[in-house]
């Protein structure tokens, strides 16, 4: 019986991926690998749970023992151990474990992207290849949930500012997670999948949210400096405001505007229509 592992499984993406993979292959074949095993056991009572922490290399070999295929969910930047080191630790463990396949959640067009957010993903993709790990890159565009505050502002008739000038490919996080889980099970996957929703501008997102909520469209484009100033007026310090503003930089740079039908093709059905997806985020 094939064993599938999902790392960093207790986050939102991981939870959705475990649910999708359980449905695809059965929970008895899915090993949950998490830093916080107590939380993982609460979330996944029907799965085998193992301790595995990207920042603790010694924990990774036992976590991967007997696992054939692994969904390698990228960690969040800003931890006590830098993300590039965390990922290098797991790449080394995957190579030593001689797994049959790794599916890595990467950044859109990571080999070409200019955004600072892409840098660790570029390094990880290169490290997987250099280590000889049989890897499939699943490059995720933007989760619609990332825009929850923007959507809530429009839905509540409040000012909703944005500064990115280029469109991007929003879809629900659970759809990206289900796509990654499906790739893990495919017989002959492509080396790279560019997962994205329909390419949409912030202006269009604001209009769709206004329509979905029955409110006037309050979305307004401002400059990056004005966006930061608005966050500061709302009570954030300058460094935090600048950090939040930087999350729109990949869109402004055009890194996220590339259309692709890889995600609905893998899933075998159309993605959730944007107005319905917006309502789902607003309901959370």
Q: Is the dihedral of CA 123, 176, 185, 4 positive or negative?
A: positive
How far the first Cα of the chain sits from its last, in Å, is: 37
CA 92 – CA 90 distance, rounded (Å)? 5
Token pair belonging to 9: 């499984």
Report if residue 208 sits inside a domain.
no
Report if residue 148 sits inside a domain.
no
Find the CATH number of the domain harbouring 86.
3.40.50.720
CB atoms within 10 A of CB 58: 9
How many domains are contained in the chain?
Answer: 1
**Chain centroid offset of residue 209 CA:** 22
Report if residue 83 sits inside a domain.
yes
Report if residue 164 sits inside a domain.
no
For the chain, the C-alpha Rg in angstroms (whole number) is 19
- The domain in which residue 67 lies consists of 4-140
**Side-by-side strand order, sheet with 135-140:** 48-51, 30-34, 4-6, 69-72, 101-106, 135-140, 192-195
Closest CA to 86 of 55, 123, 118: 55
Report if residue 129 sits inside a domain.
yes
Report if residue 168 sits inside a domain.
no
Report if residue 158 sits inside a domain.
no
Angle separating helix axes 202-213 and 148-155, nearest 10 degrees: 50
Report if residue 39 sits inside a domain.
yes
Per-residue confidence (pLDDT) for residue 115, from 0 to 100: 87
Three-state DSSP at 183 gives helix
CA 109 – CA 130 distance, rounded (Å)? 19
Q: Judge residue 233's burial from the number of C-beta atoms within 10 Å of its C-beta, 0-12 exposed, 13-18 middle, 19 or more buried.
A: exposed
Compute CA distances 142 → 34, 181, 278, whole Å.
24, 18, 14
Low-confidence ranges of the chain (pLDDT < 70): 78
pTM value is 0.96
């Amino acid at each position: 019986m094939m064993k599938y592992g999902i790392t960093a499984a207790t986050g939102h993406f991981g939870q959705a991926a475990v649910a999708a993979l359980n449905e695809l292959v059965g929970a008895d074949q899915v090993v949950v690998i998490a830093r916080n095993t107590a939380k993982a056991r609460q979330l996944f009572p029907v799965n085998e749970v193992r301790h595995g922490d990207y920042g603790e290399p010694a924990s990774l070999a036992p976590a991967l023992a007997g696992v054939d295929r692994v969904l390698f969910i990228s960690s969040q930047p800003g931890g006590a151990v830098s993300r590039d080191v965390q990922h290098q630790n797991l790449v080394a463990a995957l190579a030593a474990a001689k797994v049959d396949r790794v599916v890595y959640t990467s950044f859109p067009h990571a080999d070409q992207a200019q955004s600072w957010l892409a840098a660790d993903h570029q390094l990880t993709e290169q490290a997987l290849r250099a280590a000889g790990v049989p890897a499939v890159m699943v490059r995720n565009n933007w989760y619609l949930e990332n825009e929850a505050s923007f959507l809530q502002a429009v839905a509540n008739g409040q000012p909703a500012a944005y500064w990115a000038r280029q469109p991007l490919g929003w879809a629900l996080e659970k759809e990206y997670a289900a796509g990654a889980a499906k790739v893990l099970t495919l017989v002959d996957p492509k080396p790279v999948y560019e997962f994205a929703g329909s390419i949409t501008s912030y202006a269009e997102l604001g209009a769709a949210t206004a329509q979905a909520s029955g409110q006037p469209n309050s979305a307004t484009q401002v400059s990056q400096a004005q966006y930061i100033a608005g966050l500061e007026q709302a009570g954030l310090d300058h460094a935090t405001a600048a950090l939040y503003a930087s999350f729109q930089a990949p869109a402004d740079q055009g890194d996220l505007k590339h259309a692709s039908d890889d995600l609905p093709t893998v899933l075998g059905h159309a993605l959730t229509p944007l107005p319905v997806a917006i309502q789902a985020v607003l309901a959370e």
